[in-house]
Amino acid sequence: MSKNSSLQEGRNAFPFERKNYLFFLVGLGLLALGYVLMSGGGVEDPNEFSEAIFSTRRITIAPLTVLLGYGVIFYSILKRFPAEGGQA
């Protein structure tokens, strides 16, 4: 195998492995879940006040879920997994 053919194989390869993409999708799912958990708590009449915006779900659980999602996405980008499948 020449040096040029190994360089050519490196250029045609995907930048990430399958596990990286799976972690990325899990992170996106966690982000979506966190933002859905944050939604709601509004009232129809702007002159009324609702204590629902201060629920534990919206103040604590949802932001932690969003941060976890971003953490999983960063991990999926930075982590190098060994190549799946051998060289032919």
Q: Which long-range contacts (CB under 8 A, 24 or more apart) does 8-16 make?
A: 16/76, 16/77
Q: What is the pLDDT of residues 28-71, one digit of tens each?
A: 999 999 999 999 877 888 888 888 888 999 999 999 999 999 99
pTM score of the predicted model: 0.75
Domain residues of the chain, as ranges? 16-78
Q: What is the mean pLDDT of the chain?
A: 85
Place of tokens 């629902």: 52
